[in-house]
Chain A
């Protein structure tokens, strides 16, 4: 099976702009989670989608949003970018139940200038 893919891999944006990141999960996985990884805060959970519905949400401002499509692909959007949004954004897919093991993509490195 193909792994989790994320596009783009690298992105440079200016403060105040918005950005959309894309994630394609492993075939058959219905759960997609998004994480933000920074050197200072580590891996922080953003939100999880299961069957097109947001099932869990972390403690991030409303500028961070997401959605999931009927084919389980997911997008994450960040509006009004701030310098502190610079991070590695990781997408992970899971079958959605049981021990909830996460299979991560390579991430999108976002730099806000």
Chain B
């Protein structure tokens, strides 16, 4: 059983379109992080959200933490080919443990 469910698992869209990736759980997390991983590399931290209802923006990327701190979403506006990659959400449980979702593999076609 996956503690953190990400959807969709795969997404292929055209450049310029908008998209949203979801990260859901029945568990409460003290914080939630989003990472992006490109082929042959390790994941790179994009953002950390801590407070329920928190919204953070990183250029064209908008991250939201659910009010109950059980879910999160990542919205990309006007997607570009450089946004292609594997997006991973990770929830923090306890003081020093992260649980990762299965990831969303995003492809942006020129």
In-complex Cβ contact of A106 among B33, B41, B92 (8 A)? B41
Question: Taking the complex as formed, is B96 at the interface, i.e. its CB lies under 8 A from any CB of chain A?
Answer: yes
Range of interface residues on A (Cβ < 8 Å): 20 to 34
* CB of A50, distance to nearest CB on chain B (Å): 7
* CB of A9, distance to nearest CB on chain B (Å): 9
Q: Are B100 and A43 in contact (CB under 8 A)?
A: yes
Q: Are B45 and A103 in contact (CB under 8 A)?
A: yes
B interface residues, tally (CB under 8 Å): 24
Question: In whole angstroms, how far apart are the Cα atoms of A20 and B65 in the complex?
Answer: 39
Question: Taking the complex as formed, is A4 at the interface, i.e. its CB lies under 8 A from any CB of chain B?
Answer: yes
Q: Are A42 and B98 in contact (CB under 8 A)?
A: no
Question: In whole angstroms, how far apart are the Cα atoms of A90 and B90 in the complex?
Answer: 15
Type the 1/0 row for A86-103, where 1 means its CB is closer than 8 Å to any CB of B: 000010100011011111
Dominant secondary structure at the B interface: strand
Question: Taking the complex as formed, is B11 at the interface, i.e. its CB lies under 8 A from any CB of chain A?
Answer: no
Question: Taking the complex as formed, is A45 at the interface, i.e. its CB lies under 8 A from any CB of chain B?
Answer: yes
Q: Are B100 and A100 in contact (CB under 8 A)?
A: no
* CB of A111, distance to nearest CB on chain B (Å): 14
Q: Are B31 and A99 in contact (CB under 8 A)?
A: yes
Contacts of A48 in B (CB 8 A): 96-97
Question: Taking the complex as formed, is B82 at the interface, i.e. its CB lies under 8 A from any CB of chain A?
Answer: no
